[in-house]
Chains A and B, each alone.
Chain A
Amino acid sequence: MSQPYGLLAEFSNHEDLLRAAKEAYAAGFRKMDAFAPFPVEGLPEALGKKTRLPLLVLIGGIIGGVGAYYMEWYANAVSYVINIGGRPIHSWPAFIPITFELTVLGAGLTAFFFSLGLSGLPRPHHPLFNVPEFERASQDRFFLCIETRDSKFNSDQTRAFLKSLNPLSVAEVPE
């Protein structure tokens, strides 16, 4: 039998989960994740999760905006010069709406695809689904999973540590 994926602790409310996550982080665990039916404020920070998504979205937005303005400038002032109502060829006020729209589009698409990509989606199966209790993570239960690939992971000690956090149950997650 191969090595299990990790150990899963089950909690009944988000406060217990948040406290457990903080204690696990303080105990030195890093390769872990938490699961809750709703977004729990402060949980990503408690787990020590940092995301590059905001920076990527900013870059996506800037590419969209600059690209849009360049496209309009090139089309109107260089490639196909046309006199519209006697206005200057390079009429910046007219370019702003498209620049704005493509900034939003660039940022939005970046956010959509990178939030999927960075979280490893799409993914048809995950070892956590092998634990029957885990089904309730989308209903009324809160889970903390410490993975075996964590350098501090030790089957017995980690199980004892999770037990010390007063969970409803601790289960092994088969690979």
Chain B
Amino acid sequence: MNAILDGSDSRAKNVALGLGIIGISGCLIGWFIAPRDFFVAYLFGHFFFLGLSLGSLALLMIHHLTAGDWGYAVRRFLESAVANLPLLALLFVPIFFGLSNLYPWQNRGVVSADETLKMYLNPAGFVFRTAMVFAVWIIMAGRLLKWSAEQDLTVSLEPTRKMRTLSGPGLVIYPVTMTFAAVDWLMSMEADWYSTMFPILICIGHLLSALALVILLLAWAAPSSALAPLATEKAFHDLGNLLLAFTMMWAYLAFGQLLVIWSGNLPHEISWYLHRVADGWKWIAIFIALFHFFVPFFLLLMRAAKERRRMLARIAACVLAAHIVAVWWTIAPGVYTKQFYVGWLAPAAFLGIGGIYAFAFLKNLERRRLVPQNDPRLALSVPT
């Protein structure tokens, strides 16, 4: 395991890159033979992995502000995911070519959207806002990573202080920018639908999936890497509690949105849910309720499940897998409104983007030592 993390074993990286290239080639073929299916699948794949990086950014900022024991053990995983943001910005570019396939406001034949709406939802605005939100995320990520690297080399407290100072406002900036992104990329897929709770639900989904990923990585790497002294029972217990908190938060928001829209029962709102319970989508919704909430929730109530590395890793894997399904369920029924659909392009896009993402992630990881150096608060965290 350690050999993969520090880069001396490059097999995992090469496998990831290989899968990425195969997936992306599949996507290119799909672009020509079934452009609409391709763009839906690509947006799904991209959005899932973007969620991992943005969730990591938010978790990193939470840790810079609160400095819990849990954060030092997973700090490098979070930072490696955050460092992938420029790559994800680059990978977003193909979506600009699929606006007419994805969004009704761009489809002249279908929508007679009123002129005011078109002043906001138009290709130029879409590209501009996308560029802006990515710029903000990349700048914040860049500053945090730069200061973190500086802290490794100095005993001065200055870099840690700077990271903390940015993290406060950063945690406000993230949901605000994500609101613009979620409105443009996801919400506007369905003409007229809007929900003010939706962007924050998306944000919590990001945090949840990122947390599940780093728990998996830590559980897998802990015994055989430099992280072993940090990966204590207590660290896993803390991470398990956070996972429980975000699982509950996610369910709370998801149900809150459902309850408000169900109670109102207005045509332009309820249609979003009607598409998502039509035909086979209903079973997907039940699957998500079970494995995105009930199963992890009841398991995480038990202290023993949180402290045991393997058990917690299984729960995290369950949450992560359910979140992949939830992202598909959030995006795809906007296009396949009548019946359940998942083609070969969804796994292809997932593998393509995921492979490249994993390759870059491992590259970022091997550049630095796994244990943060010189953090003034870390000394208190290592058990004596």
A residues contacting B by CB (< 8 A) are 54, 58, 85, 87, 93-94, 96-97
In the complex, whether B200 has a CB less than 8 A from a CB of chain A is no
**Residue pair B265, A93 in contact (C-beta under 8 Å):** no
Bound-complex Cα distance A54 to B301 (A): 10
**Residue pair B259, A93 in contact (C-beta under 8 Å):** yes
CB of B270 to closest CB in A, whole Å:
12
Return chain A residues, CB-CB under 8 Å to B259.
93-94, 96-97
The 9 A-B residue pairs with the shortest CB-CB distance, nearest first, are A93-B262, A93-B259, A93-B258, A96-B255, A96-B259, A85-B265, A58-B301, A97-B259, A94-B263
Q: What is the chain A residue whose CB lies nearest that of B258?
A: A93
CB of B162 to closest CB in A, whole Å:
31
Report the count of interface residues on B (CB-CB < 8 A): 8
Bound-complex Cα distance A85 to B263 (A): 9
Return chain A residues, CB-CB under 8 Å to B255.
93, 96
Q: List 5 A-B pairs, Cβ < 8 Å.
A: A54-B303, A58-B301, A93-B255, A94-B259, A96-B255
Q: What is the chain A residue whose CB lies nearest that of B260?
A: A93
CB of B357 to closest CB in A, whole Å:
37
Q: What is the chain A residue whose CB lies nearest that of B262?
A: A93
Bound-complex Cα distance A54 to B259 (A): 30
CB of B20 to closest CB in A, whole Å:
42
Q: What is the chain B residue whose CB lies nearest that of A84?
A: B263
Beyond A93-B255, A96-B259, list 12 extra A-B contacts (CB 8 Å). Answer: A54-B303, A58-B301, A85-B265, A87-B265, A93-B258, A93-B259, A93-B262, A93-B263, A94-B259, A94-B263, A96-B255, A97-B259
Return chain B residues, CB-CB under 8 Å to A94.
259, 263
User: In the complex, which of the residues A54, A93, A96 has the most CB atoms of chain B within 10 Å of its own CB atom?
Assistant: A93
Bound-complex Cα distance A85 to B266 (A): 12
Q: What is the chain A residue whose CB lies nearest that of B252?
A: A100
Return chain B residues, CB-CB under 8 Å to A85.
265
Bound-complex Cα distance A15 to B284 (A): 52
Return chain B residues, CB-CB under 8 Å to A96.
255, 259
Bound-complex Cα distance A85 to B265 (A): 9
Q: What is the chain B residue whose CB lies nearest that of A92?
A: B262
Report B258-312 residues with CB < 8 Å from chain A CB.
258-259, 262-263, 265, 301, 303
Return chain B residues, CB-CB under 8 Å to A54.
303
CB of B265 to closest CB in A, whole Å:
7
Return chain B residues, CB-CB under 8 Å to A58.
301
Return chain B residues, CB-CB under 8 Å to A87.
265
Return chain A residues, CB-CB under 8 Å to B265.
85, 87
Bound-complex Cα distance A166 to B83 (A): 53
Bound-complex Cα distance A54 to B302 (A): 9
Return chain B residues, CB-CB under 8 Å to A97.
259
CB of B362 to closest CB in A, whole Å:
36
Return chain A residues, CB-CB under 8 Å to B303.
54
CB of B288 to closest CB in A, whole Å:
16
CB of B237 to closest CB in A, whole Å:
11
Bound-complex Cα distance A96 to B262 (A): 13
CB of A44 to closest CB in B, whole Å:
13
Return chain B residues, CB-CB under 8 Å to A93.
255, 258-259, 262-263
CB of B234 to closest CB in A, whole Å:
9
Bound-complex Cα distance A87 to B263 (A): 9
Bound-complex Cα distance A94 to B258 (A): 10
Bound-complex Cα distance A85 to B262 (A): 11
Q: What is the chain B residue whose CB lies nearest that of A96?
A: B255
Bound-complex Cα distance A111 to B251 (A): 24
Bound-complex Cα distance A96 to B301 (A): 20
Q: What is the chain A residue whose CB lies nearest that of B234?
A: A41
Report B69-124 residues with CB < 8 Å from chain A CB.
none
Bound-complex Cα distance A85 to B303 (A): 44
CB of B384 to closest CB in A, whole Å:
10
CB of A68 to closest CB in B, whole Å:
15
Q: What is the chain A residue whose CB lies nearest that of B298?
A: A58
Bound-complex Cα distance A58 to B297 (A): 13
Bound-complex Cα distance A85 to B270 (A): 15
Bound-complex Cα distance A93 to B265 (A): 12
CB of B382 to closest CB in A, whole Å:
16
Return chain A residues, CB-CB under 8 Å to B258.
93
CB of A125 to closest CB in B, whole Å:
35
CB of A102 to closest CB in B, whole Å:
16
What are the interface flags for B240-262 relative to A under an 8 Å C-beta threshold, 1 for contact and 0 otherwise?
A: 00000000000000010011001
